[in-house]
Amino acid sequence: MIAAHLPALQVVVPLLAAPLCAILRQGTIAWLIALVANWCAFVISIALVLQVRELGIISYELGGWAPPIGIEYRVDLVNAFVLMVVSGVGAVIIPYARKSIESEIPRAQRGWFYTMYLLCLTGLLGVTITGDAFNIFVFLEISSLSSYVMIAMGRDRRALTASYRYLIMGTIGATFIVIGIGLLWAMTGTLNLNDLADRVPAIEEARPVLAALAFLTVGISLKLALFPLHLWLPNAYAYAPSAASAFLAGTATKVAIYLFFRFFFTVFGGEGFFDSTPLPEIIMVLSIVAMFAPGVVAIFQSNIKRLFAYSSVAQIGFITLGISLASEPGLTGALVHIANHAIMKAGLFMLIGCIVFRLGSMRLEDMAGIGRTMPFTMAGIVVLGLGLLGAPATAGFISKWYLAEAALLQGLWWLVGLILLGSVVSMIYVGRVVEIAYFREPSEKVAGLKEAPLSMLIPGWVLVIATIYFGLDTTWTVGIAQDAAASLLSALY
């Protein structure tokens, strides 16, 4: 019985847990509620993946109203995969969050944090699972608003301005998206994604439709921090509470990338349409710049969280590059990198949060020699850094491999070189962190530090091990991603 309602439960469970946290505002109880809700969401997402594997696309009518009039939740392999990634990352972060939030947020506000966290999770899961265009906007704004609040709860007062800036840019982005949706709706009369997919190809040359595509692209690019619309990201990730940084780094941009998939290849998925627009070239150029420019900026950062935030912008460039190649290995690489990067970045921000928890500072200079006093934390950061640069036997290599293969298949030799050069840039900033942590003499403060508490270290290490595991056994990542990519390209929805 429950199995039939899984799609709805995926969103409803965290949604209902959120006001519970708001009512029972005591920090530990709120944390427990968040833990249970998130783990339930994760289990549900795995069940959905297995269901879709077996039965094909799941269509769920909300309230029993049939689509295209009623809102439907439609689960295919692509969004089942993203659901799994989002809820999985959250499930690992919540155990970590307890100690981390205790140290960063005053007692009275902790319950609110978990409320916002659950709302953000609801929003992200909702964006992914829904089959209705306007519903996407609503859930997107739910997740965005709650993330603005989460970020603003950071200790440093710069979290406030970072959150404000994100608010302005994010709202512009979301409004552009809704403009695009509005134009599409005005032209086709439907808001249901599946229905849109049927109706748009007939009118895809019409100017409002092209305008809709443009608005959607710009709006989604703002949300996913595609260069040069990434300006909100570095400060937002740097000054947010560590658990929030980890969660947002792993999920928020990934869901926006999912929107790219859905709009480009399903709604606008008519035969050869995507390739006939200048979009693939534009996105490719922006992705290439994104692979290098933020990476180079990362090298010169003195705040470790900002360094890895810029690294995130660079890695997103890799993902969008895969999308612009619009071939099966390209989309496979993009999807796989969504999962791999989510795992690696969430893990990185968690372990950095461990350092911040003990040390109290985010400045790289203050971390000199910390590799001796916090060996497990730094070892984890090293492994995840290796994943970022794409060392073999880590998950990062698999994504880069597929992207390089996609470039090779289209005969773009120079692109293969650029993809690999981008990895070299990551090597430089990861190497910088490694050098400071291991090859400098620790200050007195650093020498007196203890290793991070287990409840924070273990979730981080779960993701470290996951990085290595998914670098060697790719059945869950590549296996699903490949089928998902194939279904996207054949516009099966």
Partner 1 sequence: MSTILADLNYWVTVFLLVGGLYIVVAHGNMIKKLVGLSIFQTSVYLLFISPGKILGGTAPILDDKYTLYSNPLPHVLILTAIVVGVATIALGLALVVRIHESYGTIEDDDLTDLESDT
Partner 2 sequence: MSPADHILAALAIPVIGAILIALCRKHPNLRETVTLVTAVLLFANVATLLPVVLEGGRPAVYGFPVTHELSIAFEVEPLGMLFGLIASFLWIVNSVYSIGYMRGNKEPRQTQFYVCFAVALASSVGIAFAGNLFTLFVFYEILTLSTYPLVAHHGDAKARTGARIYLVLLLSTSIVLFIPAFLWTLSIAGTLDFVPGGILAGKASPLATGVLLALFAFGIGKAALMPVHKWLPNAMVAPTPVSALLHAVAVVKAGVFTILKVSIYIFGPEHLQATGASEWLVYLATFSLLAASVVALTKDNLKARLAYSTVSQLGYIVLAAAIATPLALIGGALHILMHAFGKITLFFVAGAIHTATHKTEISQLNGIGRVMPFTMGAFFIGALSIIGLPPLGGAWSKLYIALGGLDGDYWFVVAALMISSLLNVAYLMPIVVRAFFRPPDPDDHGHGHGHEAAAPAEGGSMWSRMQEAPWLCVVPLCFTALACFVLFFAPDAVETLLSGMLEAPR
Q: Does 296 bind partner 2 (CB under 8 A)?
A: no
**Rounded Cα distance, 387 and 430, in Å:** 10
Q: Does 328 bind partner 2 (CB under 8 A)?
A: no
Best CA proximity match to 254, nearest among 115, 83, 18, 479: 83
The beta strands (E) that lie in 235-322 are given as none
Least Å distance between CB 189 and partner 1? 9
Q: Give the count of residues interacting with partner 2 (CB under 8 A).
A: 31
Positions 367 through 396 that interact with partner 2 (CB under 8 A): 386, 389-393
- Encoded one letter per residue, x for contact with partner 2 by CB under 8 A and - for no contact, window 467-486 reads ----xxxx---x--------
* Helix (H) / strand (E) containing 59: strand 58-61
**Rounded Cα distance, 162 and 234, in Å:** 9
Q: Does 157 bind partner 1 (CB under 8 A)?
A: yes
Q: Does 158 bind partner 1 (CB under 8 A)?
A: yes
**Rounded Cα distance, 206 and 77, in Å:** 31
Least Å distance between CB 303 and partner 1? 6
Identity of the residue, 11 or 167, whose beta carbon is nearer to partner 1 in the bound complex: 167
Amino acid at 427: M
DSSP, residue by residue, 117-150: HHHHHHHHHHHHHB-BHHHHHHHHHHHHHHHHHH
DSSP, residue by residue, 312-378: HHHHHHHHHHHHHH-SHHHHHHHHHHHHHHHHHHHHHHHHHHHHHHHH---BGGGGTTHHHHSHHHH
Is omega for the bond preceding 228 within 30 degrees of 0, making it cis? yes
Q: Does 398 bind partner 2 (CB under 8 A)?
A: yes
Least Å distance between CB 256 and partner 2? 27
Identity of the residue, 175 or 410, whose beta carbon is nearer to partner 2 in the bound complex: 410
Amino acid at 208: P
Identity of the residue, 192 or 373, whose beta carbon is nearer to partner 2 in the bound complex: 373
Identity of the residue, 284 or 398, whose beta carbon is nearer to partner 2 in the bound complex: 398
Q: Does 465 bind partner 1 (CB under 8 A)?
A: no
- Residue written as tokens 């036997």? 393
Q: Could you tell me the CA-to-CA distances from 373 to 131, 369, 379, 383 in Å, in that order?
A: 50, 8, 11, 17
What is the CB neighbour count within 10 angstroms for residue 123?
25
395: left (phi over 0), alpha (psi -120 to 50) or beta: alpha
Among 19, 206, 276, 439, the residue binding partner 2 under the rule CB under 8 A is 439
DSSP code, position 5: G
Q: Does 364 bind partner 2 (CB under 8 A)?
A: no
Q: Does 427 bind partner 2 (CB under 8 A)?
A: yes
Least Å distance between CB 3 and partner 1? 30
What is the CB neighbour count within 10 angstroms for residue 215?
20
* Helix (H) / strand (E) containing 75: strand 72-75
Q: Does 423 bind partner 2 (CB under 8 A)?
A: yes
Is the CB of residue 254 less than 8 Å from the CB of residue 82? yes
Query: Which of partner 1, partner 2, none does residue 405 bind (CB under 5 to 8 Å by kind)?
Result: partner 2
Identity of the residue, 35 or 352, whose beta carbon is nearer to partner 1 in the bound complex: 352
**Rounded Cα distance, 81 and 57, in Å:** 13
Positions 303 through 342 that interact with partner 1 (CB under 8 A): 303
Query: Which of partner 1, partner 2, none does residue 285 bind (CB under 5 to 8 Å by kind)?
Result: none
Among 172, 210, 299, 420, the residue binding partner 2 under the rule CB under 8 A is 420
Identity of the residue, 47 or 391, whose beta carbon is nearer to partner 2 in the bound complex: 391
Q: Does 275 bind partner 2 (CB under 8 A)?
A: no
Among 417, 447, 454, 490, the residue binding partner 2 under the rule CB under 8 A is 417
Query: Which of partner 2, partner 1, none does residue 389 bind (CB under 5 to 8 Å by kind)?
Result: partner 2
Which tokens in the block code for residue 132?
């209705």
Least Å distance between CB 141 and partner 1? 5
Burial of 274 (0-12, 13-18, 19+ CB in 10 A): buried
Q: Does 53 bind partner 1 (CB under 8 A)?
A: no
Identity of the residue, 198 or 366, whose beta carbon is nearer to partner 1 in the bound complex: 366
Positions 429 through 448 that interact with partner 1 (CB under 8 A): none
- Encoded one letter per residue, x for contact with partner 1 by CB under 8 A and - for no contact, window 178-207 reads xx--xx-xx---------------------
Q: Footprint of partner 1 on this chain (CB under 8 A)?
A: 134, 137-138, 141, 145, 148-149, 152, 157-158, 160-161, 163-164, 167-168, 171-172, 175, 178-179, 182-183, 185-186, 302-303, 362-363
- The binding site for partner 2 (CB under 8 A) comprises 386, 389-393, 398, 401-402, 404-405, 408-409, 413, 416-417, 420-421, 423-424, 427-428, 431, 435, 438-439, 471-474, 478
